[in-house]
Amino acid sequence: MEISIIGSGSWATAIANLLSDNYDILMYARDNNVVNAINTRHINSKYFPEKILNENVRATSDIKNTLENKYIINAIPTQSIRNVYENLGPFFDESKVIINLSKGLELKTHFRISEILEDVLGDINYAIVSGPSHAEEVIKEMPTTLVCASNDINLAKDIQDIFNRDYFRVYTSTDVIGVEIGGSIKNILAFGIGMADGLSYGDNSKAALITRGIHEMERFATSFGASEKTINGLAGIGDLIVTATSNLSRNNRAGRLIGEGYSIEESIAKVNMVVEGIPTTRAVYELSKEKNIEMPITYEIYKVLFEGKSAHQSVKDLMARDLKNEY
């Protein structure tokens, strides 16, 4: 069986190599230089220049070639999904399965990724694989545990079997909303925790932001019907821990740079990858205001990113909020 992956970033490449020990893999990349490097030298030089990929990982710059397979893995940034898929509806029918690896909310509509894909493709067989996972560690086969969520538990179990390895353990869930929102909010919080690091605040500050951030994530997710258990699991707390505490996290790195005084543009340029937490902050801010969901940490991060507020003043204002019971 051949599995398609739409995208050629670090996470797409790590998953391609993981799956290729059992399946043939066809990756879509816009850049013909990436396609040629994968097909001739078996490397993705931008992300893993020293890692030789398995020879049955192939690449193409014609996205329609990837749509012939049953399993199609989405690994492109959230804000690009609509543009990529909106003309591909005729290629999708009830035999196709989309497995999503991306995280975030769409800026214009505030849709989760399953909602974006349903909007442009109609009814689809959909699952999301998410959780605490750095591509840089998965490509080295370091032990990693994630969750696969689908409204169809049997589909989730099928994907669990496809992905599971002795170093890559996958659990199943039917809480698509919780897994998608957990993966989105954690990027915002990781960004804020990175700012605290950049301001040279200590572990006390980081612990406070993580703990109160979990509370904020749970409040937002359950407002849309997610389960508290999902937020307390791999897709919520688990993913937040790995993203908020590691320099491998692009959101954490970008936040740290802003805390150190760099502009948003300078920070993104230095990270040199998509920082999904930035557009997601705007989407969650707007949606929480619309739904009247209290999100104090998100609000302050939004003000730093989009209103020019200093990161130092935002932390001071968070500490000066009205006193209240913890729960």
Q: Which residues are catalytic?
A: 186
Residue 273: half-sphere exposure toward Cβ, Cα within 13 Å? 18
Contact 251, 275 (CB under 8 A): yes
Q: What does the alpha-carbon distance between residue 107 and residue 213 come to, in Å, rounded to a whole number?
A: 21
**Which of these, 14, 122, 119, lies nearest to 75 by C-alpha position?**
14
- Nearest 10 degrees: Cα torsion 180, 224, 307, 189: -50
Cα–Cα separations (whole angstroms), residue 261 to 21, 30, 117, 197, 278:
44, 34, 37, 12, 16
Residue spans of alpha helices (H) in the chain: 10-19, 32-36, 63-66, 81-85, 113-121, 135-138, 153-163, 176-198, 203-223, 228-231, 239-244, 250-259, 264-271, 277-291, 296-306, 311-319
Count of Cβ atoms closer than 10 Å to residue 141 Cβ: 14
**Which of these, 261, 246, 262, 254, lies nearest to 279 by C-alpha position?**
254
Q: Which residues contact 25 (CB under 8 A, 6 or more apart)?
A: 2, 3, 4, 5, 16, 19, 54, 56, 57, 58
CA-based diameter of the chain, in Å?
62
Q: Where does residue 205 rank: exposed (0-12), middle (13-18), buried (19+ CB within 10 A)?
A: middle
Cα–Cα separations (whole angstroms), residue 206 to 49, 116, 203, 245:
33, 33, 5, 9
